[in-house]
Each structure stands twice: as C-alpha cells, then as structure tokens.
Amino acid sequence: MAEVLVYVDHVDGAVRKPTLELLTLARRIGEPVAVALGAGAENTAAALAEHGAVKVLTADAPEFAEYLVVPKVDALQAAYDAVSPAAVLVPSSAEGKEIAARLAVRIGSGIITDAVDLEVGDEGPVATQSAFAASFTTKSRVSKGTPVITVKPNSAAVEAAPAAGAVEALPVTFSALATGTKVTSRTPRESTGRPELTEAAIVVSGGRGVNGAENFGIIEALADSLGAAVGASRAAVDAGWYPHSNQVGQTGKSVSPQLYIANGISGAIQHRAGMQTSKTIVAVNKDAEAPIFDLVDYGVVGDLFQVVPQLTEEVNSRKG
Ligand code: FAD
C-alpha cells in the first residue's frame, strides 16, 4: 500500500488536533508515515500510532527552534526522499502552508492549499476547497508530481485506528539556506485557559450587538460554562472590543465546531465564510429579520443581555 507523509504539528511532543485529523484523511489514501520535528518529537509517537501512523520519522536539532521554516523543509524533503510517498499532507497553519509550498517547489509538484476534505480519485487524491466566502466548493487534484496538500483544521473527525507507529530517526542534512532567517525572540501569548479558536468543539462569538469591550464578559462567561473558545465579528474587532486573533470570518479565522453560538451578529457573508460549516449553529439576535437566522439550527429572538446570562446560568446549574 502506498505511504502518505503527514507533517506533525506538535508543542513539545503534544500532538495538535489538526494533525490527528490529517491522519484520518491520510488513511483514505494509504498508510500514514508521520514526520515529527524538534523538541519532544519522539513523544508524539504514542498519539500518532493510536491514530493510524504506521511509522513516525523524528528529528531534533537546534536549527528547528533557532531558525524559521527552512530547516523543517529540509527535514520534510529528507523524509520525502526516503519514503517516495503517494502524497504529502500538512496542516493549513501559516507555517504549514509555507513549509508545504517550499517543499512543492523543491520537488517540482503541484500544491493544493486549505483543503476541507480529501477523497481517493482514479488519478490520485481529490481535494475539496471552499471558495468565494464558502459560496462554492471546488474539487481539484494535483496533475504534476506528488500531491502536496494542506488541510484546514476541523476538516475530518479524529478517529482511533491503532497502528505500529514505529519510531525511526530521520537523518537530515541542512541546506545552505537553513540558517538564513534567525528567530530573535519568542513571546508566548497569555493563556486564557480556553481552547484554541480553530480547534475548539464549541465557539461562542460576540458581535456589534455586544456593544462594548466591557460587555464581552458575558460572552466569555457563557464560553467558560461550555468549555468553549470565544470568537468575535469584525465589527467587534474593528471597534477594539476583542483581539483580531479571535475574529471569525473571511479576514479572520475559519472555524467548524460542533456548536457555534452567535450573539449580536447579523450574519454578513464575510462572517458566514468563517463559520457556516459549523455542525450546529445557534444565534441570539434581537432582530427577527437578521440574515443569521437563515443559517441557524436554533434561533433566539431576544436581547442578548437577557438571554446570554440566563443561558450561562442554565448550563452551570446542569453541571451540578
Ligand atoms: P452588525 O452587522 O452591525 O450586526 C449587529 C447585530 O447585532 C444586528 O443584527 C443587531 O440586530 C444585533 N443586536 C444589536 N443589539 C443586540 C442585542 N442587545 N441583543 C441581540 N442582538 C443585538 N466580518 C466578520 O465578522 N469577519 C470577517 O472576517 C470579515 N471580513 C470582511 C472582509 C471584507 C473584505 C469586508 C468588506 C467585510 C468583512 N467583514 C467581516 C465585515 C462584515 O461585512 C460585517 O460588517 C460584519 O460581520 C458585521 O459584524 P456584526 O454582525 O457584529 O455587526
């Protein structure tokens, strides 16, 4: 069976959810061979094996931490040369897309970015992408070289599929370019204790209807009662009420959680583009004609300042 390279996104050995989703998609195409780099790479093996990796190629060197993406591209290319895979799958983060694009150029292959699904076609993997603010989906395949495909978070379920996950050291020779761009400092983002927006199973968002930074506390309280991430519309972000890193939509992040709760958000096309693939959508809006209600599974016509605290109280009371 053909092997499929999966680039692993991890933090000190803790594998991030989008990589586990990639393993689900990789198993449709062939046998997943994971490539884990940097500090803690070997500690990723158990989680990767549990989700279908037949092999885990690991490499660690100071270059991975001290320089930007080129050392990682060198390593992924070394894995590519060693395995001759049927496809290379990479998570669609900013870094993942840069690594994938550089690899595709080096190996002379076509690339598809931001896929939301993958299936097996007669002539190789067929990727689904969402286009024009999610008004259309397109299907495409790479027609030259080995397909390099980046996949957005929440595009597939995480499935248990135990496999050998044998760890093998990957020998890497760094290219002359590897040390061209040095990391000079890192500032960890202050932790809110909430899940990462693009990976969260539940997202609670606030829009212009929240009417001020100080009122976002009620959105956060509902999010915390549900163990959810907090999102915001661009109107709320542009007003300075919430950080841009939490913006959902065309010029923000795309989310596809099990549950999305939109509060005081009208449902503009650019906002929908980032959340309309959510499994269940709930909206609270005082205007019964708001376009968001065309999209929802459950809608509450009401003042969010009354509805949201009641909802939070109800959720908390059910937790006993
Ligand atoms: P509004 O459209 O003003 O809606 C506020 C809603 O709150 C209304 O429906 C109102 O009835 C309701 N409301 C008010 N008070 C209450 C209350 N007390 N209780 C309940 N409901 C209440 N937008 C994004 O969100 N994300 C993007 O990434 C994005 N990218 C864009 C890119 C481009 C190129 C452009 C042109 C626009 C983009 N926009 C984006 C902006 C988008 O067009 C809308 O302007 C924006 O989404 C509106 O945000 P909103 O729904 O919070 O505000």
Average pLDDT, the chain: 95
Rounded CA separation 155/163 (Å)? 22
CA 141 to chain centre: 21
* Ligand 1 neighbour 231 (Cβ under 6 A): no
Query: What per-residue confidence (pLDDT) applies to 211?
Result: 98
The CB density around residue 2, as the number of other CB atoms within 10 Å, is 12
- The tokens of 49 are what? 């094996």
Question: 189 pLDDT exceeds 90?
Answer: no
| Whether the complex's predicted ipTM surpasses the cut of 0.90 | yes
- In this structure, the residue with its CA closest to atom 44 of ligand 1 is 268
> Cα dist. 114→71, 94, 96, 205, 247 in Å?
23, 11, 10, 23, 18
Contact, 112 vs 138, CB < 8 A? no
- In this structure, the residue with its CA closest to atom 28 of ligand 1 is 249
- In this structure, the residue with its CA closest to atom 1 of ligand 1 is 266
- The tokens of 308 are what? 């949201």
* pLDDT tens, position by position, 12-69: 999 999 999 999 999 999 999 999 999 999 999 999 999 999 999 999 999 999 999 9
Question: 155 pLDDT exceeds 90?
Answer: no
pLDDT band at 130 (very low <50, low <70, confident <90, very high): confident
User: Which atom of ligand 1 approaches the CA of 290 most closely?
Assistant: 9
Which of 205, 250, 269 has most ligand 1 atoms within 8 Å of its beta carbon, as the pocket-test mutant?
250
Taking residues 306-314, what's their average pLDDT? Answer: 98
* Residue 127 phi, psi (nearest 5): -105, 140
Q: If residue 128 lies in a helix (H) or strand (E), which one and from where to where?
A: strand 124-131
- Alpha carbon of 252 to ligand 1 centroid (Å): 13
Query: What per-residue confidence (pLDDT) applies to 133?
Result: 64
Rounded CA separation 57/6 (Å)? 10
- In this structure, the residue with its CA closest to atom 38 of ligand 1 is 270
Contact, 99 vs 10, CB < 8 A? no
Contact, 224 vs 279, CB < 8 A? no
Which residues does residue 295 pair with via DSSP β-bridges, in sequence order?
Answer: none
Q: Which position has the token pair 């595009």?
A: 155
Contact, 134 vs 277, CB < 8 A? yes
- The tokens of 244 are what? 């841009």
- Alpha carbon of 200 to ligand 1 centroid (Å): 22
Burial of 24 (0-12, 13-18, 19+ CB in 10 A): buried
Closest to 17 (Cα-Cα) out of 281, 255, 233: 255
Category of 264 on φ-ψ map: left (φ > 0), alpha (ψ -120 to 50) or beta: left
* Ligand 1 neighbour 215 (Cβ under 6 A): no
Query: What per-residue confidence (pLDDT) applies to 127?
Result: 98
> Cα dist. 176→74, 230, 251 in Å?
10, 43, 35
User: Which atom of ligand 1 approaches the CA of 284 most closely?
Assistant: 20
Question: 131 pLDDT exceeds 80?
Answer: no
